[in-house]
Amino acid sequence: MSVTTLPSPLVTPTWLAEHLAQSDLVVLDASWFLPGTDRNPQQEWQAKRIPGARFFDFDGKVSDPDSELPHMLPSEALFSQAVSELGIAPHSTIVVYDTHGVFSAPRVWWMFRAMGHNSVAVLDGGLPAWEAAGYPLESGDALAPQPSTFQATYQPDWVIDAETLHQQLENQGCQVLDARPAARFYGTQPEPRAGMRSGHMPQAKSLPFTQLVKNGCFLDVEQLRQRFDALSDQDQRLIFTCGSGVTACILALAAELAGRDRLTVYDGSWAEWGSGMKYPVVQ
């Protein structure tokens, strides 16, 4: 059991500052930038981070090495090993942030939930909000964490593959929500990855992740609830997709904040669905 109890899957800079010294609290920097961006998240973590924050490389080290798709969820064994090396234990309370505000941190929140660890939250507003509040930073080489023993327990309800999703598209009990910009959803703007078809899955609805955040922070719970109620029924299973499985997790976290509890991320997302001609695409 974690000693530190999270108030929500989303915490404020003030809450984090008040609990930063707790021995069971682990802070992770999960910053990531879109391909082609001339920024290195690990170098930026080294230059400026929340005190004690450890870098979580979900795009490289903590991803499936055998997949041709970007940053796919790894096996239980690989996840367990990588997380143990970061000094994260079964009783750890984890707070994840990124340098955008809210962008890639929810991906790591979802990874821990999919691997059976529920004591995890995202820092609302990320590093910019922490800095704006005047809280301390550190830089330079970080002390290597004391390795722990973490055992992942895969939770299949949090994840769906392309074949299963294809079979569920006509299921009225499910609703696919796409986090990509509307222009990409409707095929009026080309995909940034080469060789991708334009458009969206049949029966999917557009919910750009930018409609759920403002100034790097999530909208309040009532606004989030209204966004999801406008596109889905309360009892539907929500399946989230995006370009490569990162911003889909923003939707997943927002849906949990809004009180939804049947949440699934399509890990391959458009990087898989939009390549080749195997799966149906509409515009």
What amino acid positions are annotated as catalytic residues?
242
DSSP H helices, the chain, are 13-19, 41-47, 76-85, 105-114, 126-132, 162-168, 182-185, 221-229, 248-257, 269-273
Cα dihedral sign for 164, 185, 56, 28? negative
Distance CA 188, CA 116 (A): 39
Distance CA 25, CA 46 (A): 20
Distance CA 71, CA 180 (A): 17
Phi, psi (deg, nearest 5) at residue 238: -100, 130
**Residue holding tokens 């904040």?**
257
Nearest to 207 by CA among 173, 247, 159: 247
What strands lie across the sheet with 174-178, from one edge to the other? 159-160, 263-266, 237-241, 174-178, 205-206
